[in-house]
Amino acid sequence: MNLMRTIVMKRRAVALLGVGVLALSACGGGEGGGGSGSSGASDAGGAEAAPASDRTEVGALTPRIVLAHEGGVTTLDSADGATLGTAEVEGYVRLNPAGDGRHVAVSASDAITMYDTGLLAQGHGDHFHYYVQDPALTGLAIEAPMPGHVVPHGDRTALFADGTGAITLLDPLALAEGDLGVLEETVTESPHHGVAVPLSDGGLLLTQGTEDARSTVQVLDADGEVTAETTDCPGVHGEAAALPTASGDVISLGCENGSVIYRDGEFHKVAIEGDYQRSGNQKGHADSPIVLADHKVEAEPEGGIERPTEIALIDTRDATQKIVDLGSEYWFRSLDRGPNGEALVLTTEGELNILDPETGEMLHEVPVTGEWAEPEQWQEAAPMMAVADGTAFVVDPAAKKLVMVDVASGESYRELELPVVPHEIQVTTGTASGEYEIAPGTDDHEGHDH
């Protein structure tokens, strides 16, 4: 079987370190007069790079906090909570990393638009220079009826439109040049709430289904040929990349009868007790074979919402899982990973639980919010977090506060007042890894023309 994949361009001819961010995307949300392909992509009319005068060189980059709220997006400086910029966006706003550590993909209405958070790390020989500029919504957008999952993996980012089944693959490094960097476009057999994950060998993992049911996951090679498939993943939802093996990527996906793992070119089913077990929200780490996931076991929960206290630690090496009872409820925005793969869970008791993913041992229990309850509607604001540069940024929307926790020590070290009531958060650092390197103060700059 071959799915039609349109190869739009092949861009990766240069390395990030050598080129750095030599041209900046235009920050204005100007008219998007550029041509549109089948994805409805807009390059903002080939927006010119922001002039160097609009940026300021700094000794190090401070992470920036991006908050989605009613009416738009607001960016804060993590050092002092100062508001750096606000952009108006109509509709319910969702946020995802774009894949370059600088831009955030803003999903609203029927489009996914790139938001420039204004952090720049420019490679310069054997070191970096760092710059900041005002954050702003760009004119770089993809038409996406019912915008769905945005998944950066490797050197590509996949955007999925639930309303059409369209998948758009981007080169995230092109965003700094004022270009969407559309690499490929494809489409699933039918529209559905699905997901696509770019693979490091040029292939693509994707779901197949309809608006009524979805149970199929496929892997396509670079030519669009199906090389692996499973139909044993009812209700497929939630994806996470784990430590790769010598033969390639390892991807875990949630199903309603136990997760499924793509590893070594094949799918492997995680055995469960009983007939129903859903792990529809999963978090992986590039250096860990363990995937953190929620653990739901009620096919028809009372009131329509299951509020679990157990999490699953899925071992992708042998398709097994360890179940850990935290003794407190959590929800889908409660899960994340630390810099060394730590499993992080924010509970309704107001604690940030930090666990060893291999053993399930509790490393730290950090008070961060008051007690809370999962809202009836998932779109409503409730405690959530994002992790970047070794810090968990924990938001308490009701209190309009954000607490920063050092993951390694379990110590909270800063609290900020928030100017808005957010329902989603992303944190950017200027690098795709989520970590940033402080420019050495004693670098030998001989031979460099500054």
Name the pTM for this structure.
0.87
- The answer for residues whose C-beta is within 8 angstroms of residue 300's C-beta and 6 or more apart is none
DSSP states of 88-148 as a string?
Answer: E--S--EEEE-SSSSEEEEEETTEEEEEE--EEEEEETTEEEEEE---EEEEEEEE-SSEE
At 42 the pLDDT is 58
pLDDT digits (tens, 9 = 90+) for 171-188: 999 999 999 999 999 999
At 234 the pLDDT is 98
Say yes or no to pLDDT of 233 above 90: yes
At 48 the pLDDT is 40
Say yes or no to pLDDT of 292 above 60: yes
Say yes or no to pLDDT of 52 above 60: no
pLDDT digits (tens, 9 = 90+) for 335-368: 999 999 999 999 999 999 999 999 999 999 999 9
At 30 the pLDDT is 34
Once rounded to an integer, what is the mean pLDDT over residues 128-152?
A: 96
Q: Residue 88: how many CB atoms within 10 A of its CB?
A: 9
Say yes or no to pLDDT of 24 above 60: no
- The answer for residues whose C-beta is within 8 angstroms of residue 260's C-beta and 6 or more apart is 217, 230, 232, 233, 236, 252, 253, 267, 268, 269, 270
Q: Which residues of 245-279 are buried (b: 16+ CB within 10 A; e: fewer)?
A: eeebbbbbbbbbbbbbbbbeeebbebebeeebbbb
pLDDT digits (tens, 9 = 90+) for 298-325: 999 998 999 999 999 999 999 999 999 9
- pLDDT class of 65 with cuts at 50, 70, 90: very high
Cβ–Cβ < 8 Å for 399, 420: no
Say yes or no to pLDDT of 124 above 90: no
Say yes or no to pLDDT of 8 above 60: no
Say yes or no to pLDDT of 75 above 70: yes
